Amino acid sequence: MNLGRYPSTERNRSGFTLIELLVVISIITILASMMLPGLAGAKEQARITQCLNNMRQVGIAIRLYVDDNDFRFPPSAVVDTDDIPKDVSAALGGHDPLPSHSRYFASAKRRPLYDYIRPSDVYKCAKDKGQIEFGCDIPPLKPSNFATIGSSYKYNAGDLTVVSGGGFKRGRNGGLANKNETWAPEPERYILLHEPPARIYGCSTAWWAQWHYVRGPSDISDVVYSRGRYISPTLFVDGHVASQNFSKSLRTDPLFPYEETKDWIWYKPLLEIAP
């Protein structure tokens, strides 16, 4: 019998069919979509951790400054090399401002922390996206605070911007600038240094910043309806650091966003007398 005349109807099943291949690709795509947000979140957390480590080092420098200066916190402004008083609350240390910003911000050598930490990436947050507005007539801090004025971190010296019609419910007794180290109530909660997403900036118009865990524009003109969170690595007077979420305070009552919570204190009430 010539069996070769009748080819076998059995097929080789060792390979994938097109449908099976598409199913495998779909499963891989679904798994990847589930994993990527977690990986992105881990990467973001790593960057925040780096910012916190930087702040911890700056905190040590501030501690040394206080010890060397009659136990008082740094000033909010200094007389620069051109004999003009300039702001250091936006940059206690770090490199020189760009020429476009040198009219407003002190040069590196005149900043309070220059002798303790020389200009370096210690003053830089990797997620620093800058600010479209810092104050009246001051050019935008773009592409980043670090690139324009030499530091990503702000000093809680007392210059807290408020929305028109808002302010401080208990009255504000200034800020930390030039105060004795014992002045701040509850040092473990009193904010010493922060990133811009913690608070309001601007002049005639209020602006908020979002740096961490967000995509799209980083400068927000309407805090109530903005996407994303207002996450800010923060250094406290007692020296410890923590990543704080300021979203609730900023959105719930934007007229009075600096009121005390269980996690932080922005200001000292007028009822308490400064030494």
Summarised one tens digit per residue, pLDDT across range 57-74 is 999 999 999 999 999 999
The pTM (predicted TM-score) of the whole model is 0.83
Place of tokens 């040092």: 187
Summarised one tens digit per residue, pLDDT across range 112-171 is 999 999 999 999 999 999 999 898 889 999 999 999 999 999 999 988 999 988 999 999
Q: Find all residues with CB under 8 Å of 30, minimum gap 6, and list them.
A: none
The answer to whether residues 200 and 207 touch, using CB atoms and an 8 Å cutoff, is: yes
Place of tokens 């990503």: 152
The C-alpha angle with vertex 249 and arms to 159 and 246, in degrees rounded to 5, equals 80
